[in-house]
Amino acid sequence: MRAVEIDRIREKVWNGEVLNDAELMALQHAAQRDGGPVWRTTVAQALINADAVTQAIPILEAVRRDFPSDVQAHLALGRALISVEKWNEAEGPLKAALALNAQDPEPMKALATIALRRAEFERARALVLEVLRIDPLDEEAMMLRGELEALVPSPPGGGPSFDEFTRALIDRLKAQSTPHVVAKGQLSIRLGRGGVARFSLEDLFKDSSRLGSSLAETVELLARELAERSLGLPPGQAQLLAKVLPVVRDSSFLERGEGAARREGPGGLWLFFALDDPEAVLYVPDGVLAAYRVSLEELDEAAWKNLEARPTEVRALELEQGALRLSNIPTGLWALAHGDGHDAARLLTASHQVSMEKVTGPGPLRVYLGLRELVLFCREDDAVSVKKLQGLDAAREGIVGAWQLLDGRLTSLPEWDLEE
């Protein structure tokens, strides 16, 4: 392709336009030929423009790894992670970008955005003011300053500031493991029946003077009230242990599941614990274990015992042109498909592994966890079925990658195994 044409495509990407398939392919070829950070980052930006952020992030991670001294590699990854609200993961590359160029306003603005979403208003303000000192006409910084001014009112009656109140309230909610999210001046609390209650932080701040005589007393009373609205936990230890079930998630869920009881699982996966509920997945907060006098080991043991008592059948499946259908005859492809969110955990139980081996025979199994509500598997030596699994796209809540089950152990397959 002529240089003028590829330059046109690159300019189109950086203008935020979406490429067609031919243009994206041409850009990818140019990046492969060049091998440098600029073209590879441009490919990632093209994917981001097309709302394929999850495909762009691995590319940017590789560019950052290959070119650790490239400021834009760190910055692009940080902004991509911000776009999918992975605040903790975004902070590392942004700080690395700032360390490489201490006067670069771009990572400062991105870090200010993270601080703002976390209600760390003093930190956000300091970053925004530093950007405006460097460039008083920076439009993004002026927008962030306007958002800060709208979110941070004056303290009532000479009491604690809005920053102090918000920080203390969030710290208290974290300490008691109340599921919450702070964004754009709102505090969202997840309710026990799967809903979400939203509160204006400004309104809570204005009303805080009636709750207690001190900041500590105020936030304790308010946090207790919010906790009562959150997870509808069973009334006692026995009821909790009778209703808990294990849930398998990948490491990307750790930030979203902050405050929930969990332990490490096989192959880099994590095991969370949820209450048996037909309407929602209600994760057990880590903070209630002490209140119920339940150890994590006891919770874990009860969860697996409860899951063993809720078995599901191994079902034969057909996969044609990306569509899955139950089959009355063996196809080489099977599923655990109870559909209650616990099928990936069932894969790890002894009883289900026995059921699986009865239909597949002994030997390693290729496992696919990308559809979240069911688990697909086939024999590792069944090349046709393995290829079908490799062609599937993971759902939004699915676990990406390919896995192998052998002798009761689930392990993640490296990339070179997937390409064979």
Which of residues 102, 122, 151 is at a domain's end?
A: 151
Residue 192: pLDDT above 60? Answer: no
Tokens of 111: 């870090």
Distances (CA, A) of 286 to 261, 300, 342: 4, 12, 20
Do residues 93 and 198 share a domain?
no
Q: Residue 345 belongs to what domain range?
A: 314-418
Q: Does residue 194 sit in the same domain as residue 259?
A: no
Shared domain for 295 and 370, answered yes or no, is no
175 and 262 fall within a common domain: no
Can you tell me the mean pLDDT for 115-134? 84
Last residue of a domain, one of 276, 305, 334: 305
State whether 35 and 129 are in the same domain: yes
Three-class DSSP category at 264 = strand
| Higher per-residue pLDDT: 249 or 224 | 249
- How many structural domains compose the chain? 4
Helix (H) or strand (E) holding 196: strand 196-200
Rg of the chain (C-alpha set): 25
Residues in contact with 130: Cβ distance below 8 Å, sequence separation at least 6, in sequence order: 105, 108
Shared domain for 74 and 111, answered yes or no, is yes
The mean pLDDT of the chain is: 82
CA 171 to chain centre: 21
Which amino acid belongs to residue 266?
A: P
pLDDT greater than 70 at residue 350: yes
Q: Is residue 26 domain-shared with residue 98, that is, in the same domain?
A: yes
Query: Which letter, b or e, does each residue of 402-415 get, where b requires 16 or more Cβ atoms within 10 Å of its Cβ?
Result: bbbbeeeebebbee
Answer yes or no: do 94 and 115 share one domain: yes
Residue 225 has a pLDDT of: 66
- On whether both 115 and 21 belong to a single domain, the answer is yes
Question: Which helix (H) or strand (E) covers residue 283, if one does?
Answer: strand 282-283
Average pLDDT over residues 84-98: 88
pLDDT at 416 over 50: no
Predicted local confidence at residue 193, as pLDDT: 45
Contact criterion met (CB below 8 Å) for 306 and 248: no
Alpha helices in 197-312 (DSSP H): 201-207, 215-229, 237-243, 288-292, 296-308
pLDDT at 302 over 80: yes
pLDDT at 229: 56
pTM: 0.49
- Chain-centre distance of CA 112, in angstroms? 21
Q: Out of 257, 274, 305, pick the residue that ends a domain.
A: 305
Residue with tokens 């990307």: 252
Question: What's the Cα-to-Cα distance from 376 to each of 185, 204, 216, 248, 356, rounded to whole Å?
Answer: 42, 47, 51, 15, 11
Residue that has been written with the tokens 């290829």 in this structure:
387
**Residues 74 and 10 both lie in one domain:** yes
Residue predicted with more confidence, 29 or 234: 29
* Structure confidence at residue 349 (pLDDT): 95
pLDDT over threshold 50, residue 418: no
Q: Based on the domain organization, do 397 and 413 belong to the same domain?
A: yes
- Asked if residue 133 and residue 35 are part of one domain, the reply reads yes
